[in-house]
Amino acid sequence: MPLFTKKPGKKEAADANHQNGDSSETTKQNVTNKTNSSLDSTGGDSSIGRPKLVFHCQQAQGSPTGLISGFSNVRELYQKIAECYDFPSEDILFCTLNTHKVDMTKLLGGQIGLDDFIFVHRKGQPKEIEITKTADALGLTITDNGAGYAFIKRIKEGSVIDTMKHIQVGDHIEKINDERLVGRRHFEVAKLLKEIPRDSTFIIRLIEPLKDGFINVGPKGDSRKNKKANYGTGKETLRFNSNGKAEIRIQDDTQTVGIENINNLLESFMGINDAELATEIWELSTAKTNSMDFAEAIDNSELEEFGFTDDFIIELWGVITDARAGRLK
């Protein structure tokens, strides 16, 4: 299966981030190099210019290291991991890069660095919790894994949810009352939580990541003298595109900052966190010189379903222009 195509000389800007309700993340430009021949991660073609991309993977709770290749999107990645370790792909809640911890700053999103180490977090203990919504906002930022599971990325300090110690970052939101949420996007789940009337009581069913002991599964150093393992430090990334293809990209600092700030806006305005969405927004701004053209590009894209308000689009455009001008850090 071709992972990506690569042609020299073509540059693209890419940045996106997504929020829904109670949270925060800016924009970045990237350079896309494409070759005239397809690169195959499956290793099926031995011709020159068709290298096999292989990623190291471990289960976060402890496992041998697996070698993963032959995928072009997140769902295919999950399936390859599941085949490697012989469990259903539906067991995967999310993946982190270069750490086994439930670290929401290290989530695998729409791209993977070519030297990143993948840690997979599987379903653990389910739990049902009764909550009384004593404030207008619960204090949650929601994201999703790109394969049908929405989960908690951030809990606002001092919020309703912050007082409930059984609810943790990384918990998958499976059900609200009798409404099953598997297959829903993060913004849909955030909207449902926001629409729960104040002072009403509801039951939320969560599934936490598996927490068995983590033993000897961290990335190991190179055994050669004076040589260290170098996981996740390169700027080349394998980017998953909405058209189902993947390609290698090199990101610059402008794009990175832009995407982070777009994601912060998504969190503040919508209570969701989605680096892939933020990247899509950044990419739509490429070659746009004013907010009207940018708004038209959003309206003519798949992002129209989010129903961004005019005020929000103006905020996005402000972040994008600030990032381009180097005013953001």
Q: For residue 243, what pLDDT is reported?
A: 59
Range 123-209 classified under CATH 3.40.50.2300 = no
Digit-coded pLDDT (tens) for 79-136: 999 999 999 999 999 999 999 999 998 999 878 888 899 999 999 999 999 999 999 9
> Can you read off the two tokens belonging to residue 124?
């653990």
**List of E strands, the chain:** 2-7, 30-32, 34-40, 55-59, 66-68, 92-97, 111-113, 118-132, 140-144, 150-155, 172-176, 179-180, 201-209, 236-240, 246-251
Cβ(265)–Cβ(20) below 8 Å: no
Q: For residue 46, what pLDDT is reported?
A: 40
Cα 184 to chain center, whole Å? 15
Reference 124, options 11, 237, 44, 209; nearest CA is 209
Low-confidence spans in the chain with pLDDT less than 50? 1-50, 214-234
Cβ(14)–Cβ(279) below 8 Å: yes
Alpha-carbon gap, residue 243 to 104, rounded angstroms: 26
Digit-coded pLDDT (tens) for 213-232: 543 333 434 433 343 344 44
- Domain residue ranges of the chain, discontinuous segments joined by +: 123-209
Alpha-carbon gap, residue 198 to 141, rounded angstroms: 18
Alpha-carbon gap, residue 302 to 289, rounded angstroms: 21
Alpha-carbon gap, residue 59 to 62, rounded angstroms: 5
Alpha-carbon gap, residue 67 to 69, rounded angstroms: 7
Q: For residue 77, what pLDDT is reported?
A: 93
Q: For residue 321, what pLDDT is reported?
A: 93
Q: Tokens 């033993």 — which residue?
A: 215
